[in-house]
Structure formats: C-alpha cells, structure tokens
Amino acid sequence: MVRQSYDASAADRRRLEHWDELLRRPNGLSAWAEDMLGAQVGAMVERNPSPFEDIRANLIAGIKKARALPRGPLQQRWAISERWQGIQRAGLVVVNVRHQDQRGSAEQLVQDVLRLRREPELFDDILGWRGSRIPITAVAADLQDPNDAGRKKAVARVRRVVLSRPLW
C-alpha cells in the first residue's frame, strides 16, 4: 500500500464535462438520468421529456457555476501499488514461500493484506463503498510442503467455498 496524491477537483471536472456533454445532446437528459438513476428512470424521461426540461436547465446552470469554483488542493489517500492491483478484491491470498529467507517478507505482505479490511482509513480509500467487509483469508505458505500450516488453511478455505456452492 502506498500514499498517493489525488486530485479530486480533476475527477469532478471530468464528471462535469461528461454531464455537460450528455445534457446538451438531444435526449441527453434521459441519458444522464440513465447514468445516474438507472435505465427505468432514463426510459421514463425519454418517453416524456417535457416535464424535465426545468431540471435540465438547472443542471446546466449548476455545471456552469461548478466550473467557476476554485480548484481544490491535492488530497493524500491510500492506494494499492500497481504491482499488486486487484489484490484488494481477493477473498483468499496465498503468498508462496519457496525459501525460508522469504518467510519474513511474505508474512509482512500477509499482514498488509489483512489490514485492508481491518483499518477504516485503508478500507475507505482503497475499497470505498463498494468494498466488502468479509475478512480476507491470507496466508504465507510453502505450497510444495503438504504439511505446511498455511497451505492446509488455504486448501480448507477453498474446500469450504467449493462445497458451499450448488453444482449447477
């Protein structure tokens, strides 16, 4: 995990540009409504756009005002380093330890992975509202050794998941 500078203003400006582009198109309000509120709302607006024209005008005016606001400062937030992208969504992480001199760094990686779901700041920055609070099973294991405790734990986790799913 690394600390990164994040430009929230740039993300907001990109979102505003996208919305402005949508709203200025014919049937743009229905496309915007579909993006923001779902396909059913978008279809409803497309069928009868006239009651929503005031909303469209207010949105365009609000976008114009938002563009005039000063740029906010860069924010620091936690992120997964590019080398490990995707690991934050894992349910099981097995770090293969081929030599005993790797055990220390493998255990450190396991502890870092476990912190993702335990520490609120990491969870919020990396996983956000889409994240799952279900704990990650993370082990450092010598996969060639059938008696390794980490390997046994990983196999037991996989077995539980496979057996809990229906066959069809």
pLDDT surpassing 90 at residue 11? no
pLDDT (0 to 100) of residue 133: 84
pLDDT tens for residues 37-50? 899 998 999 998 88
Q: Amino acid identity of 63?
A: I
3-state helix, strand, coil in the chain (%, to 5): 65, 10, 25
Q: How many CA atoms lie within 13 A of 80 on its CB side?
A: 19
Cβ contact 88:134 at 8 Å:
no
CB burial string 55-78: b at 16+ within 10 A, e below: ebeebeeebeeeeeeeeeeeeebb
State pTM to two decimals: 0.59
pLDDT (0 to 100) of residue 64: 92
pLDDT tens for residues 61-103? 999 999 888 888 888 888 888 888 888 889 899 999 999 899 9
Closest CA to 141 of 87, 86, 103: 103
pLDDT (0 to 100) of residue 35: 87
The residue-averaged pLDDT of 9-20 equals: 89
Q: How many CA atoms lie within 13 A of 135 on its CB side?
A: 9
